[in-house]
Structure 1
Amino acid sequence: MTEFSTAAQPISPQQHDVEDTLVETVLASFGNADDERLKFLMRSLTGHLHAFIREVRLTEDEWHTAIEFLTAAGEITDEKRQEFILLSDVLGASAQCIAVNNQAYKGATEATVFGPFFVENAPRIELGGDIAGGASGQPCLVEGTVTDTEGLPVPGARIEVWEADDQGYYDVQYADGKVFGRAQLFSDANGEFRFWGLTPTPYPIPHDGPVGMLLEAVGRSPVRAAHLHFMVSAEGLRTLVTHIFVRGDELLDRDSVFGVKQSLVKEFIEHPPGTPTPDGRDLGNRAWSQTRFDIVLAPSGT
């Protein structure tokens, strides 16, 4: 692959001075900020932004295109769709922010991207309940435990789960207002949990907007590896936002938002139609799957 180079565009010492002076002037403009963290963030952001513009010798047409892109991202964003999260995701910024803020700690479960489809106050189900809510897809039994990094069970941990149907859509992407594929439940006295959901399937992130146009322009697929979302919280422990992925999925090495981590890839055991379920659930003559996800939470503040 040939990399585009600006080496053929020599910059005179006088031009360097002009550009350096501008950077110094802009950085100095943040000097009166009372919030030291904000001052640091704005100076760092400004420095990197100017460095990028200077490195690539950004043209005015390219600058206008970028502004139009960001404007379009704002216009398509609403209470159900956050195009800027999608943009952050496909640039790997979301994954990097998660990595920075969830440092490895004594075998704690790895975090990954949040995604744009979490909804507060999902329906509560009891242990062994069904999150699918009538959505289409293959039934899947998910079981596991929640422990701390010392191996002690965490009773009463809030476990919020959400996923797409087998058509690749979350409930909020439909216009009928029906809630499906999401719920919250709590671990029992032994830290154990179990619920029925749907076997995850690959699906594309929304790609009918500016982020989709960007992916198409650079030859990237919008499709995500099959996954099931979790957010797990308990007093005194670091809240975990993560997914589990399906072993054998051919998209594991090219997830469109860089969310896959090998520790989160799980075996989903397929059972043929008529196979009895552990809890005696009547699935009729339907195939189903089963997986296990044992969750380890780090102490808060780590």
Structure 2
Amino acid sequence: MAREFTTEITDTVVGSFSGTADPRLRELLGALTRHLHAFVRETRPTTTEWERAIGFLTATGRMCTDTRQEFILLSDVLGVSMLVEALNGHGDPGATESTVLGPFHLTRSPVRELGATIDLVGTGEQCVVSGRVLSRDGTPLPGAVLDVWQADDRGFYDVQQPGVQPPGNGRGLFTADAEGRFRFRTCVPSPYPVPTDGPVGALLGTTGRHPWRPAHIHFIASAEGHAPVTTHIFVADSPYLDSDVVFAVKQSLVQDFAETDDPSLAEEFGVVNPFRHARFDLVLEQA
């Protein structure tokens, strides 16, 4: 009797969405219901466990603010963000690979001139990041836009430390020059733990997982006529490259932040010699 009812209620709920005008929404709701019900039938949660699950999701929602997205963080640590990214990736082997957006992207970074610094604090090891934005065939993309953001040398984003870091620290919106070139100054980013003061952090602790991400810089690169790419550049010698808590490391995105001892280059870039220098190109697919 109970087995018949569990099948019947699933079919009833799926059927209740039959009047949904949007066919894709109808498909998604039906699939969600079938898979969710199958999970419940397989694991047979107790009422207490169900209440704890509801409490966890409620707490996750309460942690979300204009500058923090706990649900994205939950998606990240469960590998869902990377799975969605992999399924939606364009798949061109010559283009820059994409990876997760992360929970600390803001709608718009401060507009900065090429060569400007995004490190407004100046406490970390100085670094220059430079390269080109190219089409798949190697053609430079003049006027390409790069949205850049990173944690500081202590592993915090500006929005995590209001009153300590100035707003916009570690962020910049740059426009590539006529040859698709870009460059900016910053500090070498640090590995950092994802926020552990919320329900996602508690989940990691309960399951014995570490919360750390390897050092990286975020990019969204876009150009007219091309598909934008959301990606990271990971520091080659960083810890946690093989155990990123959000599963976002791809080998093609690991870059050498080389120690550079070149006074003339330091003068050109406006940094003190010696310094670290990361050179790489961002390659976009045509839309």
- TM-score normalised according to structure 2 size: 0.94
Structure 1 residue 287: Cα displacement: 4.8
Alignment match of 2:223 (pick from 221, 234, 247): 234
Residue identity opposite 1:78 in structure 2: T
Distance between the aligned counterparts of 2:270 and 2:15, measured in 1? Answer: 69
Structure 1 residue 136: Cα displacement: 2.5
Distance between the aligned counterparts of 2:280 and 2:270, measured in 1? Answer: 23
Residue identity opposite 2:208 in structure 1: G
Matches within 5 A, 1:178-197: 178-197=167-186
- In the other structure, the counterpart of 1:204 is 193
**Pair 1:144 & 2:139 matched:** no
Alignment match of 1:166 (pick from 144, 153, 165): 153
SS in 1 for 2:121: coil
**Could you report, residue by residue, the CA deviation over 1:207-266 in whole angstroms, capped at 9, with x for unpaired residues?**
111000000000001111110000011111111100000113231111011110000001
Gaps of 5+ in 1: 1-13
Gaps of 5+ in 2: none
- In the other structure, the counterpart of 2:117 is 130
**Pair 1:269 & 2:258 matched:** yes
CA contact (8 A) 1:135 1:181 kept: no
Cα gap change, 1:139/1:277 in structure 2, threshold over 3 Å: closer, same or farther? Answer: farther
CA contact (8 A) 2:117 2:186 kept: yes
Distance between the aligned counterparts of 1:40 and 1:120, measured in 2? Answer: 30
SS in 1 for 2:24: helix
CA contact (8 A) 1:105 1:298 kept: yes
**Could you report, residue by residue, the CA deviation over 1:167-221 in whole angstroms, capped at 9, with x for unpaired residues?**
1111111122532110011111111111111212100111111000000000001
Alignment match of 1:107 (pick from 94, 113, 116): 94
Q: What percentage of residue pairs aligned between the two structures are identical?
A: 47
Cα gap change, 1:54/1:35 in structure 2, threshold over 3 Å: closer, same or farther? Answer: same
CA contact (8 A) 2:67 2:106 kept: no
Cα gap change, 1:221/1:93 in structure 2, threshold over 3 Å: closer, same or farther? Answer: same
SS in 1 for 2:4: helix
**Pair 1:258 & 2:251 matched:** no
Distance between the aligned counterparts of 1:200 and 1:174, measured in 2? Answer: 16
Paired residue total: 284
**Could you report, residue by residue, the CA deviation over 1:28-70 in whole angstroms, capped at 9, with x for unpaired residues?**
0100101101000100111111111111112211111110001
- In the other structure, the counterpart of 1:59 is 46
Cα gap change, 1:217/1:277 in structure 2, threshold over 3 Å: closer, same or farther? Answer: farther
**Could you report, residue by residue, the CA deviation over 1:11-31 in whole angstroms, capped at 9, with x for unpaired residues?**
xxx432221111111110100
**Pair 1:215 & 2:215 matched:** no
- TM-score normalised according to structure 1 size: 0.90
Moved more, 82-91 or 175-184: 175-184
Residue identity opposite 2:158 in structure 1: D
